[in-house]
Structures are given as C-alpha cells and as structure tokens.
Amino acid sequence: MQKGFLTLLTLTLLSQAGAAGTLVYGAPGEPVNLNAGNGGDSPSLQGDAQIYDRLIDFKPGTAELVPALATSWKSNAAATVWTFTLRKGVKFHDGTPFNADAVIFNVSRWWDKKNAYRYGATFDVWPQLLGGNKGEAGSLLRSVSKSGDTVVFTLNKPVTAFPALIGSYYFGIASPTAVKKQGTRYGTPAGSAVGTGAFILESWKAGDRLNFRPNPNYWGTRSTLDRLVFRFIKDPAQRLNEVRAGTVDFTSNLNPEATAQIKADKRLTLVLPTSFNVGLLNMNVRHPALKNAKVREAIRFAVNRPAIVDAFWGELGSVDNSMLPPSMAWANSKNVPPVKVNAQVAKRLLTEAGYPNGFSIDLWYPSISRNYLPTPKPVAEAIAADLGAIGIKVNLKTEDWPKYLEDRRAGVFQMYLYGWGGDYNDPDNFYSAFYGDKGSDDIGFNPGNILNTLNKGRAALTQAQKAPYYKQLHELTYNANVRLPLVHSTAPAAARTYVKGWITGPLSTVGSLNLVTVQK
C-alpha cells in the first residue's frame, strides 16, 4: 500500500514539474512569513518577490536601479529629502488602487511601533537597516508624506544610498485593504498576501508549498506561465535529487560538491550566482569569557578558516578578514592583515585572559541551508573541533529556523552562525545590518565610534568620498573582533535545460520569476 502511494506521489510530482506552463521551484525552506517588511530569511523574501513590487527594482542580473512602483526619484543636495514619483494606474491583486496613501500605510507599519495595523509583527529589518523606529534617537527617517502622485521621505541624516535601501527586497508594498481585513492572519498560511507583483498567491500549504498564478493585470512584463509552485525542501541533497529526477524544475542553495554532478548531467544547467555575501561566526559579548577581547582574538587564531572553506566550499568560497564581498574590495583597508591560524598563539591568549583550561560555550547553527552556509552542521562541527583543540568545549545546538531568527534577535545565543546576502550595492548594507543602530543588539555590542563612522560613510556622495570611512570601519570592526568572517561564497543552483530566462544576480538568486519560461 505504501509503495503504491509513493509511486502515485512521484507520478503526481513529475506531472507538475516540467508540465506545459507549470514551473516548480525547489525552495530551501518554508517562509517564516509573507508579510512584506517582516521577513529577512531567503524563503520569505523569495516568496515576497513574486507577490510584491517595491518602489524601485534592480535590473535583472545586476545591482543597477530601475523604476518599479516609482517611475523616478530625486533628492535635495544634502541627500536628506528624497522624492519618489509613483506609477499611475497600478492595482493590487484585490483590485484596490496603488497610490501614495498605500506607500505611507506600509512605511508607517514598518517604522512606527505604535501603528495599529502591525498586528503583532515586529518588522525588525527596518530598525536594523534604518537605525531605529519612529521616535528613537537613531532613526534615519524623520517623516514620510505625500504630495499628489509623489511620496517624500525626509531623513534625519544624509543617506546617499537611500533609493537602493528602500528598493531592497524587504520593502514590498502590500494592499492596505488586505492587511486590515486579515489582521494577524495576513502573510501566514491561515491568510494570504496581496501585492501588485507579477504573481498572485493562491494558497500556502503549511509544510509543503506555495501555489501562485500569474497576475493578468500586471503593469510590467506578464508571465507566460500557467502556474508557479514553490515546494519546501530543506535538504540540499534532496533538492538536487529532485531536480535530477524532474520532480522540480529548478532549485538553488545547493552544496558546493553538487557542481560536478550538475555538470555531468546533460539534462541540467549549472547556475553559479555572483558571490555577494558573507558567512559569520558571531560572538555575544554578554558571555563572561567573550567579553574579554583576548578570548575573542584567541578564537580568531584557533578557527582554521582557510581549511574550513577548502573542505566545505572548495573553489566556490574564499576567506578574508572583511565583512564585504570581493566586489567591494575598494572599501577594505590594507592595514587589516590576512587570515592567520596559530593554535599556540590562541592558547597563550586564553591563558593571558585568565582561561588556561578553557571554558564551555554554546555554538548555535541554522537548521536550513543558506546561500552563504549550505552545510551548517558540518561547518559548526569543524569550528567546534578547532576550538576544542585549545581547550574550549563547544556545545552544538540548533532549532527550527523561525525560532532561530527570534532567538538571534533577542540576543539569546552565546555564539552562532549567521550571515548576510547583499540587498544593495553599497558597503552600508553589510555594515549597517550588523553595526548600525540596533544592528548589534544580538551580541550586546554597540560602540559609538563604529556608528559615527558608519553615518559618515552613508552621507558621502561618491565612492572616492566613501572609501576612507569604510576603510576605517574595516579596521574598527577587525579590531573589535565580535563577528568573525568565515566565507564569501557562491552556492550552486541547477535548472532543467528546458527552463529558460532564469536570471540570477548579486542581489538575488530567486527574484521575480515573471521572465522565466518552460520550453520543452
């Protein structure tokens, strides 16, 4: 009976994947939510990208800004007032109009903790990237207002990258009517999610899939697909097996060793997105031992990062002492040394810090693969082994991804693995996410000199003017040594050869899929 059921299931999946007009994506996990502005994980953002448009988009395959729900934008000379002219005639999937009021409704939900339409959502990415919520000292935003078909953002500080920041994948514009109607159910399997994007969410089957259909009234290029399906498959090896079997049409965030298998399979196309990320070992200075700078320095000398990258990423990874991906090397300081590994120096530093016999600490790792960390557990095990060699006993721990994100934000973890995939092409994105106002609450580390330098970099107009500030930031964060860069990497992806028009870029492996076709 069970064998018959499995056979039927396999036949059903095969009939979906590759079917004329149906595209099935093997997603690396289930979204935490589809409430625009309230999700920071890849599965959530990949779903959001189908449902929502933002004010500004990126040209496919690049970090170049292009119009979306805003047709143009400009600033005053000081880069403190930004005016966006909105696209006319656009409607949400529920038929209600997109306009300036809708933009202000969404921004107010993200920014204002007292907003009545938050319905319990925290929108943590807003203060992480924009310095704080309404009324807080660090908030970059002073006000948002409208004038006819324009929306005006007035900032407390100059931010030259503001258009790219507000255009990042977090900030999709949701239907105010749908949010108000659904309340706490909005963006969950019990409700729906309504934007202006190229695809309409038909259903979210918890633990299984998202079902979409093309938006027939889309203002941009309309999809020629009949259906789009996101299946949740946490295990990267299973995702590869399913794309090889034809039960899914394409997938991403695969293990580096999958590259050879993909190349050898004539039915598949290998996709190697541009490396635009960083994987980090994060150290919470609230821990008595990690509060000591010499202990953190000992950990830096003990963890054999080059060997770990070679073992788990091979030629698809690189390591240095910078938060920034290789394409932003112009913002790195030559005063920061290359990676050095020395267990004897690490032991000496531990002794000097008062821990000659080491100590015990928890190291948390994600339960799902990330583009910067496709194999979290083995990497965590390698780090534990290196630290064990100098007397630090590491207790490895993990938990479900939504809970992991919640505990990370709450500063619960002593040490943990996490990282960042770039949202826009400016060093500010990587530094502000981890060192801006609220950015370091997870590890209890918020020094004023780093924040002041970050604000100066944000205000600079040109790359030449930005470079000195970001080079100084590089030196400051290297010396602080609270976030140890592990890797900049490329996570291979694979598609059946009949999948055409899938364009990956530095900012997203799976953005809006309206240009993708199935050509058998």
Model confidence pLDDT, tens digit, residues 373-400: 988 999 999 999 999 999 999 999 999 9
Quote the DSSP letter at residue 367.
S
What is the pLDDT at residue 506? 76
DSSP conformation letters of 17-53: TT-TTEEEEEESS--S---TTS--SHHHHHHHHHH--
- For residue 291, pLDDT over 70 is answered with yes
Helix axes 448-459, 463-480, angle to 10 degrees: 160
Q: Where in the chain is the domain with CATH 3.10.105.10?
A: 277-489
Buried/exposed code over 197-226 (b: 16+ C-beta within 10 A; e: otherwise): bbbbbeebeeeebbbbebbeebbbeebebe
What is the pLDDT at residue 504? 87
Architecture category of domain 277-489 in CATH: Roll (3.10)
Q: Where in the chain is the domain with CATH 3.40.190.10?
A: 22-236+494-518
pLDDT in tens, 296-340: 999 999 999 999 999 999 999 999 999 999 999 999 999 999 999
Distance CA 32, CA 367 (A): 13
DSSP conformation letters of 459-511: H--SHHHHHHHHHHHHHHHHHH-SEEEEEEE---EEEETTEE-----SS-SS-
The closest alpha carbon to 491, from 167, 169, 239, 208, belongs to 239
Query: 256 has which bridge partners?
Result: none
- pLDDT confidence of 273, banded at 50, 70, 90? confident
pLDDT in tens, 181-196: 999 999 999 999 999 9
- For residue 11, pLDDT over 50 is answered with no
pLDDT in tens, 405-427: 999 999 999 999 999 988 888 99
Query: Is the dihedral angle over the CA atoms 371, 418, 257, 233 positive or is it negative?
Result: negative
pTM of the model: 0.84
SS3 of residue 311 by DSSP: helix
pLDDT in tens, 200-228: 999 999 999 999 999 999 999 999 999 99
Give the rounded percent of residues in the chain with a pLDDT score beyond 90: 82
Q: Which helix (H) or strand (E) holds 179?
A: helix 176-182
- pLDDT confidence of 20, banded at 50, 70, 90? low
**Are the beta carbons of 49 and 511 closer than 8 angstroms?**
yes
Distance CA 309, CA 345 (A): 21
What is the pLDDT at residue 12? 47
Stronger pLDDT, 484 or 8, i.e. the higher one? 484
What is the pLDDT at residue 515? 94
End-to-end CA distance of the chain: 34
Mean pLDDT value of segment 439-449: 90
- For residue 64, pLDDT over 80 is answered with yes
What is the pLDDT at residue 6? 43
Distance CA 18, CA 519 (A): 9
- pLDDT confidence of 5, banded at 50, 70, 90? very low
What is the pLDDT at residue 17? 59
Mean model confidence pLDDT for the chain:
93
CATH tag for 22-236+494-518 (out of 1.10.4030.10, 3.40.50.1970, 1.10.1240.10, 3.40.190.10): 3.40.190.10
Spatial neighbors of 254 by CB under 8 A, at least 6 apart, are: 236, 239, 240, 262, 374, 491, 492, 493, 494
- For residue 517, pLDDT over 50 is answered with yes
What is the pLDDT at residue 274? 83
- pLDDT confidence of 9, banded at 50, 70, 90? very low
* One-letter identity of residue 404: Y
Distance CA 163, CA 281 (A): 30
- For residue 121, pLDDT over 60 is answered with yes
Which two three-digit tokens encode residue 97? 């109009």
What is the pLDDT at residue 437? 77
Distance CA 290, CA 361 (A): 10
Interstrand relation of 227-232 and 22-27 (parallel, antiparallel or unpaired): parallel
Distance CA 453, CA 124 (A): 23
- pLDDT confidence of 507, banded at 50, 70, 90? confident
Give the rounded percent of residues in the chain with a pLDDT score beyond 70: 96
